[in-house]
Amino acid sequence: MIDTTTADGTADGTTTGSATDAPGLVLRLDAPAGTWTDAFPVGNGRLGAMVRGGTDHERLHVNDDACWSGAPLDGPPQPVGPLPAGGAPEVVRRARELLAAGDPLAAEAELARLQSGWVQAYQPLVDVLLDQPEAAGGTGYRRTLDLGTGVVTTGWRSGAGAAWRQDVLVSHPDGALLLERTGPAADAQVRLTTPHPWATAPATPPAPGSDPAPGDGTAPDPRAAVVVATVDMPAHVLPDWVQAPDPVRYGGPAVHAAVALAVLVDGPGASARVVDDVVEVRGARRVRVLLTTASDHDTATGTLHGDRPRVTADALASLGRALADVEGIAARHVADHAALMGRVHLELTDVPVPDLPLDARLVRHARGEADPHLAVLAFQHGRYLTVAGSRPGTLPLNLQGIWNDRVRPPWSSNYTININTEMNYWPTLVGDLAECHEPLLGWLDRLAVAGAGTARTLYDVGGWVAHHNSDPWCFTGPTGRGQDSASWSSWPLGGAWLARHVVDHHDWTGDVDALRRHWPVVRGAARAVLDLLVELPDGTLGTSPATSPENLYLLPDGRPASVSVSTTADLAIVRDLLEHVRRLAPVVGDRDEDLRADVDGALDRLPTERVGADGRLAEWHTDVADAEPGHRHQSHLYRVFPGTSLDPDTAPGLAAAATRTLDARGPDSTGWSLAWRLALRARLRDPAGVATLVDAFLHPVDADRGEGLGDPPDGGRRGGVYRSLLCAHPPFQIDGNLGFTAGVAEALVQAHHRGADGVREVHLLPALPAVWPTGRVQGLRLRGGLRLADLRWRDGRVVRAVLTADRPGVVDVREGDARRHVTLRPGVPVVVVGE
């Protein structure tokens, strides 16, 4: 049995124990997963698995973050054309002229020539199947995911009344998946399946330096059996919504991956041996399944080495290292995982947690029964998914994190960079998981290099650009084959948005070395937007052609259009980026006076947001009718959040207009959009709006009809969460889980604002919902190298607050109308409110 007990120290020395001792960090369901989204995820950043918790039949869906379709690109994506003599830049010039002439639909048709195919798709690797007929039964069934320890535990009684237990984890220190099952002596079968053709089917590996073992493959130790298999990923996979022959193609350059699996058994007379491609277990009281993977995909460089024997050897070597001390794997995993998760503690209620499974609690909550602890679970769940899905040396989190069971997953499970990839990393810094931010920053270094070619090819500009989709091969072009909507495809500001993460990393951590290392990402994105800006008839600078990601407006004749001039989102992203370049160039020692002059000149001529005739923050250059009033994107609110420039203090009129914009968007949307709106409401200091969006996000989408919760409006699909608490777009997207965590943090504390004297403001409880009158949070990391060591409140008022700092400085602590300047010294806790 895996011991999951951990000392999860908090700021005041309190601890939490195992899953049964700490219900505050446990997701519980009382039935095996009926669908993939019912399963619980485990992972170590590279290797992930979804645990269904079956009794007589368990199925683990296993992913490796390196396993994608496709291969490194030969150069910038090439437009489908046809192109005029002036090439792609001439197409852009024509589109600009058509917009000036008042023909946006013709401009869209022109821009379709620049589309250049689609990104590749994240892939499943294998499933681990464990069949054990004698374990069948469901009496007393309970399946839990302990967020504090990263272990999924399933307990039940078989039909014969025997007690069974199963624990599953994926260890970061050991780089291995471990399943451990205990019960009475019983037989079992363990095998691997894959949705891809086997390159080499599962078999016992030969001993080093020997010929393959003859006969039935019985291992030298009858209590252990090992198999190894290899798989080639598809060479090309079309998005799931594209109708075309042969959407999945094998052969040609592709990722080659290996899986090594060991089955260990205990008990008098227990044995394990490989028969054909199945591990046959006899008479085992304990079965342990250990799995490691390897591939020829170097995710740090985006290259394939192609050495197939080396891939197999790497997987087996990893397995060997894990087997060398298999008894210590669980303890090392729990210590590593808990060290990250234990940095932040949150309580939002002082009443007992309901002793009910998660799905029942979600239904009760949707019916109006208060359960503030669900928000605690969802907050920590976002941090858990970050720890399990993003570690140094891995690829960044994609649309589904590192968990996917489909060869053609929704939206290719790609990097959607017009909001979703960015949202994946919103909670990382505030949640004190800065090391988990590194995969995104490392990938951005490569994306910027690839995007420089796209900037030159399509726009004849310097710097680098990326459009709305990418993948590990750093695709940066507009998607489609001439048929994708310009509303998402014709948007070259993905790099400009992503560059903000380099800025945020510095603003939170103060790591100047990291800022210098990744400065080319920021500088290159700024150079591109400066070159893309054009002078408009009114003398301002703007963008043309321009879109507001994925949204449409109506022409006077009622037809929908997406391409315009100087959309608010474009101008907000450009202004935000250039302001950060001006602020941080001296910090990194960038003394390019020409760049500084260009930045200053552009900022002087860029319009700011405006209020439309209806009182909302205008989304388009002129007042036009919305094609979809409740649209899921709200990119024109960029400088409210994730930006830091518009709030009720700095721009009260624009902040009020932003609030009216959110009101007009309505109460329902996709799961990730609800999370974004939560963060926006918090930044706008709207406690009631925060409470409404928390409730909307925690709505159980898979229970609407079955539990009498009502259908979504207009017959659509309401966003929210599945019974496992995974975010439902629907379908599943992880960004909503992560965005929710960031939104809750914004409701509790904000430190983005500096006063006229340059002193950073720490605003305590700026948007606390009335339904959270009593609570406590510890460990949140704030901009400026600050840490919220402790914040306690009662009846909605702060009773104690403690700050620490990484560097000396003065902060302006704000609670309601009260303010207090506080001097901080590195590492010295200061009580800023209370005793």
Q: Is residue 384 part of a domain?
A: no
Residue 214 confidence (pLDDT) above 60: no
Phi, psi values for residue 743, rounded to 5°: -65, -40
Residue 209 confidence (pLDDT) above 80: no
Residue 143: C-alpha distances to residues 30, 62, 354 (Å) = 6, 19, 16
Same structural domain, 334 and 443: no
pTM score > 0.85 for this model? yes
User: Across residues 150-173, what is the average pLDDT?
Assistant: 98
Contacts (Cβ under 8 Å, ≥6 apart) of 402: 43, 45, 46, 47, 48, 63, 65, 388, 389, 394
**CB contact at 8 A, 289 and 138:** no
- Structural domain containing residue 137: 23-69+121-342
pLDDT number for residue 703: 65
* Total Cβ atoms within 10 A of residue 714: 7
Instruction: For residue 22, give the 3-state DSSP assignment.
Output: coil
**CB contact at 8 A, 294 and 315:** yes
Residue 217 confidence (pLDDT) above 80: no
Q: Is residue 102 part of a domain?
A: no
pLDDT number for residue 717: 60
pLDDT number for residue 384: 98
Residue 386: C-alpha distances to residues 427, 595, 654, 676, 698 (Å) = 8, 36, 33, 17, 19
Share of the chain residues as helix, strand and coil, in percent rounded to the nearest 5: 30, 25, 40
For residue 21, with 0-12 CB atoms within 10 Å meaning exposed, 13-18 middle and 19 or more buried, which class applies? middle
User: Which candidate, 714, 706, 611, places its Cα nearest to that of 667?
Assistant: 714
**CB contact at 8 A, 345 and 383:** no
Contacts (Cβ under 8 Å, ≥6 apart) of 266: 223, 284, 285, 286
Q: Is residue 85 part of a domain?
A: no
Same structural domain, 324 and 431: no
Element (H, E) at 749: strand 749-750
Same structural domain, 64 and 210: yes
Give residue-wise pLDDT tens across range 464-497: 999 999 999 999 999 999 999 999 999 999 999 9
Residue 104 confidence (pLDDT) above 80: yes
Residue 711 confidence (pLDDT) above 60: no
Rounded distance between C-alpha atoms, residue 788 and residue 344, angstroms? 10
Same structural domain, 332 and 424: no
Give residue-wise pLDDT tens across range 343-381: 999 999 888 899 999 999 999 999 999 999 999 999 999
Percent of the chain at pLDDT exceeding 90: 92
Residue 212 confidence (pLDDT) above 80: no
Q: Is residue 728 part of a domain?
A: no
pLDDT number for residue 351: 83
| CATH (domain of 769) | 2.60.40.1180
Instruction: For residue 333, give the 3-state DSSP assignment.
Output: helix
Same structural domain, 438 and 527: yes
Residue 218 confidence (pLDDT) above 90: no
Give residue-wise pLDDT tens across range 763-822: 999 999 999 999 999 999 999 999 999 999 999 999 999 999 999 999 999 998 899 999
Residue 5 confidence (pLDDT) above 80: no
Instruction: For residue 191, give the 3-state DSSP assignment.
Output: strand
Rounded to an integer, what is the distance from CA 319 to the centroid of its chain?
A: 28
**Considering 318, 342, 366, which residue would you say is the last residue of a domain?**
342
User: Across residues 432-446, what is the average pLDDT?
Assistant: 98
Rounded distance between C-alpha atoms, residue 731 and residue 568, angstroms? 29
Q: Is residue 694 part of a domain?
A: no
Residue 619: C-alpha distances to residues 548, 616, 631, 687 (Å) = 7, 9, 12, 25
User: Which candidate, 432, 451, 448, places its Cα nearest to that of 440?
Assistant: 448
Give residue-wise pLDDT tens across range 29-52: 999 999 999 999 999 999 999 999
For residue 537, with 0-12 CB atoms within 10 Å meaning exposed, 13-18 middle and 19 or more buried, which class applies? exposed
Residue 735 confidence (pLDDT) above 50: yes
Instruction: For residue 806, give the 3-state DSSP assignment.
Output: coil
Parallel/antiparallel/unpaired status of strands 278-295 and 271-275: antiparallel
Residue 584: C-alpha distances to residues 215, 506, 515 (Å) = 67, 9, 9
**CB contact at 8 A, 141 and 30:** yes
Rounded distance between C-alpha atoms, residue 113 and residue 91, angstroms? 8
19 confidence band (pLDDT: 50, 70, 90)? very low
Q: Is residue 168 part of a domain?
A: yes
| Tokens representing residue 269 in the block | 């007379």
Q: Is residue 661 part of a domain?
A: yes
Give residue-wise pLDDT tens across range 375-396: 999 999 999 999 999 999 999 9
Residue 21 confidence (pLDDT) above 70: no
pLDDT number for residue 3: 66
**Number of independent structural domains in the chain:** 3
**Considering 666, 683, 716, which residue would you say is the last residue of a domain?**
666
| CATH (domain of 545) | 1.50.10.10
What residues form DSSP beta bridges with 293? 259
Residue 827 confidence (pLDDT) above 70: yes
User: Which candidate, 445, 448, 447, places its Cα nearest to that of 414?
Assistant: 447
**Considering 619, 634, 666, which residue would you say is the last residue of a domain?**
666
Rounded to an integer, what is the distance from CA 442 to the centroid of its chain?
A: 16
Give residue-wise pLDDT tens across range 603-627: 999 999 999 999 999 999 999 999 9
Q: What is the mean pLDDT of the chain?
A: 94
Give residue-wise pLDDT tens across range 639-691: 999 999 999 999 999 999 999 999 999 989 999 999 999 999 999 999 999 99
Any idea what DSSP says for residue 557? T
Rounded distance between C-alpha atoms, residue 490 and residue 567, angstroms? 13
Percent of the chain at pLDDT exceeding 70: 94
Residue 577 confidence (pLDDT) above 70: yes
pLDDT number for residue 707: 56
Rounded distance between C-alpha atoms, residue 384 and residue 737, angstroms? 10
Preceding omega of 545 cis (within 30 degrees of 0): yes
Give residue-wise pLDDT tens across range 114-134: 999 999 999 999 999 999 999
| CATH (domain of 308) | 2.70.98.50
Give residue-wise pLDDT tens across range 224-244: 999 999 999 999 999 999 999
User: Which candidate, 436, 58, 473, places its Cα nearest to that of 301?
Assistant: 473
Parallel/antiparallel/unpaired status of strands 163-171 and 57-64: unpaired
Residue 705 confidence (pLDDT) above 80: no
User: Which candidate, 788, 779, 776, places its Cα nearest to that of 813?
Assistant: 788
pLDDT number for residue 210: 43
pLDDT number for residue 10: 32
Same structural domain, 657 and 765: no
Q: Is residue 99 part of a domain?
A: no
User: Which candidate, 94, 90, 88, 102, places its Cα nearest to that of 565?
Assistant: 102
